[in-house]
Amino acid sequence: MRLNQIDFNNAKKEWTSEKFLREFFQVKKNENPFNKYYIKEFIDTISNIPLRHEYTMVGYGSLLNEKDIPRTLPSGKNHRLGILNGYKRIFNVAGNVNDIAYLNVEKVPYDLQTYVALIDFPYYELPNIIARESLYDFTEVMIQEQNKETQSLMVVGNNYFVNNYATPLLNYLHLCISGIKDLAGKEGVDNFLYTTYCYSQYHGEQVTINEYLKHVNLLDYMVRREYISR
């Protein structure tokens, strides 16, 4: 079933039906989709997000890069700059890998403006973004853009997958920085470098990405972390 053929008024009922779940997650005929933990979490998440005709998604990692959007949100549009207040970015979502992390956000007890991307998408893309962000929980936040605030969906790393001693995957980091450069130029890159943190083995603590990159052997890092693999 194509997602864009699902009627808005029946969307949540359809998305949580056995037929849809089997097709969407490619569950085998002899398996019960409702017994799978990731499908249970999908159902919980999709049930808790209010149904709207259109959503705005906060992109603070790979979704900063407009070229990465079609992988997840084929109908995503209006990729633009926004400001997330009171949060820092941090590489600490590691999944099942102990030493390679993806981006997360954490609240901070001080004034901090973090540049993010905003992407609008229709309701029928909601299953795609939930499935993509399986290591994260969903929340709603207000994002500043120009002279208004926009209610937006944002993902926050599930505590089960947080590893504060993990370090970034370099090609993922490059993808993010390239994206914010296209969105906001040098100012955007500077904002990313000084509002984003990760663990540094050199320092033995969390430091800004700006400080982290000063002490990384990039050639060795690219070889060990398979820079071109993404």
What does each of the 230 residues of the chain score in pLDDT, given as a tens digit?
688 889 999 999 999 999 999 999 999 989 999 999 999 999 999 999 999 999 999 999 999 999 999 988 899 999 999 999 999 999 999 876 556 789 999 999 999 999 999 999 999 999 999 999 999 999 999 999 988 999 999 999 999 999 998 888 888 898 999 999 999 999 999 999 999 999 998 999 999 999 999 988 776 666 655 555 55
> For helices 18-25 and 37-48, what crossing angle results, to 10°?
120
Q: Identify any residues that bridge with 123 across adjacent strands, giving them in sequence order.
A: none
Q: Say how many CA atoms lie within 13 Å of 154 toward its Cβ.
A: 26
Q: What is the 3-state secondary structure (H, E, C) of the chain?
A: CCHHHCCHHHHHHHHCCHHHHHHHHCCCCCCCHHHCHHHHHHHHHHHHCCCCCEEEEEECCHHHCHHHHHHHCCCCEEEEEEEEECEEEEEEECCCCCCEEEEEEEECCCCCEEEEEEEEEEHHHHHHHHHHCCCEEEEEEEEEECCEEEEEEEEEECHHHECCCCEECHHHHHHHHHHHHHHHHHHHHHHHHHHEEEEECCCCEEEEHHHHHCCCCHHHHHHHCCHHHC
Cite the residue boundaries of each domain of the chain with CATH code 3.10.490.10: 52-229
Backbone region of residue 15 per phi and psi (left: phi > 0; alpha: psi in -120 to 50; beta: other values): alpha
Closest CA to 94 of 84, 104, 85: 104
Distance CA 93, CA 178 (A): 21
Task: Just give the CATH number of 52-229.
Answer: 3.10.490.10
